[in-house]
């Protein structure tokens, strides 16, 4: 009687262990078949956990119609796309470099006269262009950067290649700028258009914040104006400041006038034409709309 009870208890214990193992999703596969660090563990118990050889072959993981995550190709197995071909890099010279500089000038990324030499100014300009468009910031002009630039610019004229003219594309006006009194500010063309009831009265070049201190986008209103403002945070002059979003304002920048797009603001919209911003300051009223967009 004792032996029978002991045998019964042994069988019951073995069955309990088996149930616990299946419920926990333990696998009977060898350690080499365990999921890698990149794979997600399957939430369903593996069919091979069954202790009997009578398990249906159709339930085998390799034949299942719903493969587990561990059976899917790991990211490391995917084919890596080759890096885009570099067309121009620092130190390069030639007519294509001159065209690059002229095209960058059209959208406000290059302020110097095209020289045909890929120097530090050109490298900085290309980096800025790449960064604003989410491209790898290398400073070299690869096929992706070049194609993006071609799509945003026109073929430079002889006068542009010689630095005598810049054919800047017109800003595509946002629909929110078409009614009322608006400072319509395009990040794409880097221009500010002063508009009243859909009519453009003046346009001027502008510069924005860096990737670490970006200029906010959206619809705002001029909260207050300060003709001879000085920043209390950076202790720098901000003449003709028109504040529209916290500490961000449209204002004249002597640094922008001197260095062009080789610098950036701390989030404000910089204007480099002092005469233009002075005239705009006199026309804009508190409460006028400000639209900043791409």
**Domain residue spans of the chain:** 2-71, 86-161, 175-293
pLDDT of residue 163: 87
CB 2 within 8 A of CB 10: no
pLDDT of the residue at 270:
97
State the pLDDT at residue 79: 61
Phi/psi for 240 (5° steps) reads 55, 45
pLDDT at 15 over 50: no
| pLDDT, mean of residues 21-49 | 33
**Distances from the Cα of 94 to the Cαs of 43, 146, 160, 261, in angstroms?**
61, 16, 15, 23
pLDDT at site 94: 96
- Note the pLDDT of residue 91: 97
State the Cα–Cα distance between residues 52 and 146, nearest whole angstrom.
64
Whole-number Cα distances in Å, 78 to 74, 75, 107, 183: 7, 5, 38, 48
Architecture of domain 175-293: Beta Barrel (2.40)
State residue 55's pLDDT score.
40
Nearest of 176, 248, 256, 186 to residue 216 by alpha carbon: 248
Angstrom distance (rounded) from CA 94 to CA 96: 6
pLDDT, tens digit (0-9, with 9 covering 90-100), for 128-173: 899 988 999 999 999 999 999 999 999 999 999 998 888 877 778 9
The stretch 254-261 carries a mean pLDDT of 88
- Tokens standing for 57? 């072959």
Residue 106 has pLDDT above 70, yes or no: yes
pLDDT mean over 266-292: 97
DSSP structure class, residue 141: E
Query: What is the rounded CA–CA span in Å between residue 294 and residue 290?
Result: 14
Residue 49 pLDDT: 39
For residue 206, list its beta bridge partners: 271
Least confident of 50-59, 138-147, 152-161, 207-216: 50-59
What would the mean pLDDT of 18-40 be, rounded to a whole number? Answer: 32
Q: Note the pLDDT of residue 223.
A: 98
Q: Which 8-state DSSP code applies to residue 202? A: E
Provide the mean pLDDT of the chain.
Answer: 79
Q: What is the CATH number of domain 86-161?
A: 1.10.101.10
- On the question of a common fold for 86-161 and 175-293, the answer reads no
pLDDT at 30: 32
Angle (CA) 88-147-120 rounded to 5° is: 35
pLDDT digits (tens, 9 = 90+) for 168-185: 777 789 999 999 999 999
Mean pLDDT of 73-101: 83
Q: What's the predicted TM-score (pTM) here?
A: 0.57
* Full DSSP string of 13-81: HHHHHHHHHHHTT---S-GGGS--TTSPPPSSPPGGG-SSTT--GGGSGGG-SS--GGGSPPGGGSPPP
User: 148: which residues sit within 8 A by CB, 6+ positions away?
Assistant: 133, 135
């Amino acid at each position: 009687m004792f032996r029978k009870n002991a045998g019964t208890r042994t069988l019951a214990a073995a069955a309990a262990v088996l149930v616990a193992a299946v419920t926990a999703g333990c696998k009977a596969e060898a350690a080499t078949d365990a999921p890698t660090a990149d794979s997600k563990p399957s939430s369903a118990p593996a069919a091979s956990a069954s202790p009997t050889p009578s398990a249906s072959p159709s339930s085998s993981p390799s034949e299942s119609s719903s493969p587990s995550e561990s059976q899917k190709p790991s990211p490391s197995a995917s084919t890596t796309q080759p890096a885009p071909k570099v067309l121009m890099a620092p130190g390069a010279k030639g007519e294509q470099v001159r065209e690059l500089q002229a095209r960058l000038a059209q959208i406000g990324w290059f302020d110097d006269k095209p020289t045909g030499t890929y120097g530090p100014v050109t490298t900085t300009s290309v980096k800025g262009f790449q960064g604003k468009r989410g491209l790898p910031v290398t400073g070299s002009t690869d096929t992706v950067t070049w194609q993006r630039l071609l799509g945003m610019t026109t073929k430079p004229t002889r006068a542009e290649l010689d630095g005598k003219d810049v054919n800047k594309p017109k800003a595509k006006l946002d629909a929110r700028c078409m009614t009322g009194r608006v400072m319509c500010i395009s990040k794409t063309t880097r221009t500010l258009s002063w508009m009243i009831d859909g009519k453009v009265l003046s346009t001027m070049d502008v510069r924005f914040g860096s990737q670490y201190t970006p200029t906010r986008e959206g619809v705002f209103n001029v909260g207050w104006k300060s003709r001879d403002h000085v920043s209390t945070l950076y202790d720098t002059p901000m003449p003709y400041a028109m504040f529209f979003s916290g500490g961000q304002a449209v204002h004249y920048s002597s640094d922008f006038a001197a260095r062009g797009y080789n610098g950036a603001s701390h989030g404000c919209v910089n204007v480099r034409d002092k005469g233009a911003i002075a005239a705009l300051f006199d026309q804009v009223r508190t409460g006028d709309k400000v639209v900043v967009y791409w």
